Structure 1
Amino acid sequence: MSKTLLVLRHAEAGHSFSGDDHSRTLTEYGQTQARKIGQWLLQSRYWPEVTIVSSAMRTRQTSIWVAHELGEKAPTAQLDDRMYLGSSRQLCSVINETPETVDNLLVIAHMPGVQELSMELTSAESDEEASLEMASQWPPAGLARFDVTNAWAELDGRDAVLAEFVTTGLRG
């Protein structure tokens, strides 16, 4: 049976007045973007069983707005410091720790890690248009949906089928 991996870049964040990148918050547009992604997940029936989120404020807020739209379908987010500005390898190692009982996983992190990870995971069987779009740009609240047949622990490169790349169409 195929599992679903959802890789989401946080929604649009504002600038930090204190200079602390970790505490940047979502803009009003960002809140709307995150809600739109939550609506898409709900309507598409891609309800995550587990959501792993970078510990940064903007990713946590993205998770909150997505969960707001998912309502009772939303799992409690799991914060992971390794995902804060994590490399593709760091993000992949967090995904590799996912229990095999999980069929639908959502990870919310940052550029360039989300894009690099997704490019590394994309198999030759992936949707060509989605692959090209994902490779050329990854706006805030952009989401890659992968079909995964391997065990989470075995996921390491060119072994997930990119089924679609979703954006909110909002500025970013």
Structure 2
Amino acid sequence: MKKLLILRHAEAGHSFTGDDHSRTLTQHGQDQARQIGRYLLEFGPWPEMALVSDAMRTRQTCIWISHELGEKAVTPYLDERLYLAASRAMCSVINETPETVQTLLVIAHMPGVQNLSMELASPESDETAVLNMASQWPTAGLAVFDVAKPWAELDGRDAGLSQFITERNLLT
């Protein structure tokens, strides 16, 4: 069973130049990303591949997660197609993942991460996790899916959501 981890970037500040693409993480956002990295290090699964939007806030989220993962961190693949991508576009990028990858981390933006996750969630998904994911997706929210089919065939209602992790979950 493969794992798909879909993460909304950590908290970002406002752009002083008006360029959304270059927004950076706040101190709180850096802390959120490190917290997700520590969670993955302790409980897994460890990503074997990371697809990351090329926006500054997603890249920085990945950097702080990688810092916590240490030698278990992977080199991210920056993909401009994930920047503010719609759910179908995000799914198309995921479909290109090599079958040798067993755990894939995708770091992107709202509303694409939430829309895609809702579309992927199969009837076998954890009901509480789906309801939490549907109601609100905070910064650094992480959906963990079990995927039984090839990446290229993933298209909707075919991945079991096992967990929806937020900062609030990690603090309790």
Determine whether 1:27 maps to 2:29.
no
How far apart are the structure 2 equivalents of 1:79 and 1:16? Answer: 21
Give a deviation string over 1:74-105, Cα, whole Å, max 9, x none. 10010000000000001000000000000000
Structure 1 residue 45: Cα displacement: 2.1
Q: Which residue of 1 aligns with 2:126?
A: 127
Cross-structure match for 2:85: 86
Which AA in structure 1 matches 2:35? K
Separation (CA, whole Å) in 1 of partners of 2:82 and 2:131:
25
In the other structure, the counterpart of 1:55 is 54
Aligned equivalents of 1:49, 1:90: Cα separation in 2: 22
**Residue aligning to 2:117:** 118
Matches within 5 A, 1:137-152: 137-152=136-151
User: Normalising by the residue count of structure 1, what TM-score does the alignment of the two structures yield?
Assistant: 0.97
For 2:114, the aligned partner's letter is Q
SS of equivalent to 1:43: helix
Q: TM-score, normalised by structure 2?
A: 0.97
Identity %: 71
Q: 1:104 maps to which residue? A: 103
Q: Deviations over 1:40-79 (max 9, x none)?
A: 1111121000001000000000000000000000100100
Aligned to 2:157: 158
Aligned Cα root-mean-square deviation (Å): 0.8
* Alpha-carbon shift at residue 168 of structure 1 (Å): 1.3
Moved over 4 A (4+): none
Q: How does 1:10-21 map to 2 (within 5 A)?
A: 10-21=9-20
Question: Partner of 2:12: helix, strand, or coil?
Answer: coil
Task: Please list every run of 5 or more consecutive structure 1 residues that lacks an aligned counterpart in the other structure.
Answer: none
Aligned length: 169
1:36 partner amino acid: Q
Q: Which amino acid aligns with 1:37?
A: I
In 1, the alpha carbon distance for the partners of 2:90 and 2:44 equals 24
Equivalent position SS for 1:98: coil
Secondary structure of the corresponding residue to residue 86 of structure 1 = coil
